Structure 1
Amino acid sequence: MGVYRLLQLFSTCAAFSLVASLGIGMGAVSHWSMFIWCFCFVITLITFIVQLGEYQPSLPFSGKSFLFTYACLATVFCLSASIMYAITYIQFLPHGPFRDQATAATAFSSIACVLYALEAAFLWLLFLGETTFYFATIHGLFKLLETLVACIIFAFISNTYLHQHQPALVWCVAVYSICFTLGAVAMLLKLVKFENRLHTFFPRFLLGQTMLSVLLYASALVLWPLYQFNQEFGGQPQRSSDVSCSGELASTLCIWDQKLTVAILTAINLLIYVADMAYWIHFIFIRY
């Protein structure tokens, strides 16, 4: 695993370094991708040091569960970074050394994604039957999907031009942040096995958290398209009305397309939260 950790560290560091050294025309998606690679590098480095020093017994949670959970999250993060960076940046670069360098960064990000995915599969097979991994459950899968979609949304809304001009759009950004934070807290509580202390109350807590997320995302699904695409509220109903979409020398995905992407992702994540809520309703009120 030591050599495997070094490969993960090298891949994420290479992706980050290649993009950072470009230094030209980097948009919000590029910065978010760099944050993902840097985050994965730091957490992997900490994990490597903890395993190397054999500090696992002093941790307040199961090392196996943490490694599996982090491997799944890192897979999702690197996958989202690879896809977003490729479709929103590389395709707009002219052929030359800058495009080759950006393509190499995406390749290293994809390699890191494969390495983390293989680690997750290896841990699942190695400890199958010995322990129950959170992301191997239905609710864990829902949380993984919610996290993936939220990460992609954050990549686009990190461009403050999309939302800084309207309070309603700022509320939508707050919705995405609140729901992501609540999901992170739920995953952390599951990781430290906090539900064992709350017994039957914990599922109801997760149901309440999911219902709140559904209501918040529903408000964002209404407000985001209304203020982005309705002319009466200052939006742009037509793609042609956005000057960033008409330039032949565009270097990134135009603003209107980014707004539409966030609207679609909001609808997708709302559906995932609704399915998650239905699961907990069935688990609490029908199963018992």
Structure 2
Amino acid sequence: MSTGVTYPNLEAWNTVCCFLRLPQLFCTCMAFSLVADMGISRGNIGNWSMTIWGFCFAVTLIIVTVEFFDFESRFPFFWYNLSITCACYATLLCLLASSIYSVTYVQFLPDGPLQDRAVTATAVSCIASALYAIDVAFVWSWYEFDEITCYVHTVPGLLKVLETFMASIIFTFLSNTSLYLHQPALEWCVAVYSICFILAALAMLLKLGGWENILPVRFPIFQLGLTLFSVLLYISALVLWLLYQFYEEFGGQPQWSDDISCFDDLMCTWIQRLAVAILTAINLLIYVADLVYWACQGFYRD
């Protein structure tokens, strides 16, 4: 059965590989190596950034290997959807690593070899982000779509990418377990972030794999219910997080000056609490936009 997709020829693949994928591998590997060479001076932010660059390098290497040996047909989902989705995430991740690493670490380094390495790592990370963004647009242009649409090039696909991406950033801050382990209400917030992330990832996998037809209800109705549930959960998480982190009546700290560590640490505990609150609010807005979209799909389409 025809899938309605014409895969790019070898010349097109060579163009993508030589001018995009290989430079992506080079840039992420160089950023990782430069920061790794700083030793213990790289700090926690450096370790976190290295994790992102290492992840992007590994995923890109897998994609290059699969496409080089022509293994796309062995996957139970459309390869073009997976590769473009990975490139979308890599774009956001490298951009995030570049921004946070430069703002919270690089600018505070004294002049010298360490600063030179950190600045260079930030620069090549920005280049990697640009290369991944071009990858998304370039690979898209080499496919001819008849009956199938590329999921991440649709409104719901983009929203799902943003939802899971924002949740991933929240999880980064929640790696500091002291933010929530002392309070059951805050542990509930962490459970909400995890549940909504899993549900969003499940919806993406169903669509990427073309498995939405196995559902007992139409996919728009399924997504509407799923998104409504996630919106309600996120509202509860936002309210509880704000109450128990920033109101004295619930044991919170209303001002950053209440946290003495903030005088010496730009990423102190209070700032991390505030970051999670802001990210939660942003992700809630994304979920609301997703809900509005699926409400329109469910009520105005057969």
Q: One fold, TM greater than 0.5?
A: yes
Q: Contact conserved, 2:36 with 2:42, CA < 8 A, in 1?
A: no
Q: Contact conserved, 1:33 with 1:155, CA < 8 A, in 2?
A: no
Letter in 2 for 1:47: I
Among candidates 280, 283, 286, match of residue 269 of structure 1: 283
Among candidates 14, 35, 41, match of residue 30 of structure 2: 14
CA distance in structure 2 between the partners assigned to 1:104 and 1:160 by the alignment: 32
Q: Contact conserved, 1:226 with 1:235, CA < 8 A, in 2?
A: yes
Residue 45 of structure 1: aligned partner: 61
Residue 133 of structure 1: aligned partner: 150
Is 1:173 the counterpart of 2:187? The answer is: no
Among candidates 10, 13, 17, match of residue 2 of structure 1: 17
* 1:25 Cα deviation from its structure 2 partner: 6.0
CA distance in structure 1 between the partners assigned to 2:209 and 2:76 by the alignment: 7
* 1:199 Cα deviation from its structure 2 partner: 7.8
Is 1:232 the counterpart of 2:234? The answer is: no
Among candidates 200, 204, 208, match of residue 221 of structure 2: 204
Instruction: Specify the SS of the correspondent of 1:240.
Output: helix
Residue 259 of structure 2: aligned partner: 242
1:96–1:163 distance in 2 versus 1, CA, 3 Å = farther
Q: Contact conserved, 1:229 with 1:236, CA < 8 A, in 2?
A: yes
CA distance in structure 1 between the partners assigned to 2:281 and 2:47 by the alignment: 25
Query: What is the total number of aligned residue pairs between the two structures?
Result: 284
Residue 150 of structure 1: aligned partner: 167
Deviations along 1:107-138, one digit per CA (max 9) or x if unpaired, are 22211111111110112222254441101111
Letter in 2 for 1:8: Q
CA distance in structure 1 between the partners assigned to 2:282 and 2:28 by the alignment: 28
* 1:200 Cα deviation from its structure 2 partner: 4.8
CA distance in structure 1 between the partners assigned to 2:181 and 2:160 by the alignment: 28
1:168–1:200 distance in 2 versus 1, CA, 3 Å = closer
Q: List alignment gaps of at least 5 residues for structure 1.
A: none
1:57–1:21 distance in 2 versus 1, CA, 3 Å = same
Letter in 2 for 1:192: G
Letter in 2 for 1:202: F
CA distance in structure 1 between the partners assigned to 2:34 and 2:64 by the alignment: 23
Instruction: Specify the SS of the correspondent of 2:43.
Output: coil
TM-score, normalised via structure 2 length:
0.86
Among candidates 227, 232, 247, match of residue 215 of structure 1: 232
Q: Percent identity?
A: 56
Q: Contact conserved, 2:35 with 2:42, CA < 8 A, in 1?
A: no
Residue 98 of structure 1: aligned partner: 114
Residue 281 of structure 1: aligned partner: 295
1:193–1:161 distance in 2 versus 1, CA, 3 Å = same
Let me know the Cα RMSD of the aligned residues: 2.0
TM-score, normalised via structure 1 length:
0.90
CA distance in structure 2 between the partners assigned to 1:195 and 1:274 by the alignment: 22
Q: Contact conserved, 1:32 with 1:158, CA < 8 A, in 2?
A: no
1:158–1:91 distance in 2 versus 1, CA, 3 Å = farther
Is 1:194 the counterpart of 2:211? The answer is: yes
1:155–1:97 distance in 2 versus 1, CA, 3 Å = farther
Instruction: Specify the SS of the correspondent of 1:35.
Output: helix
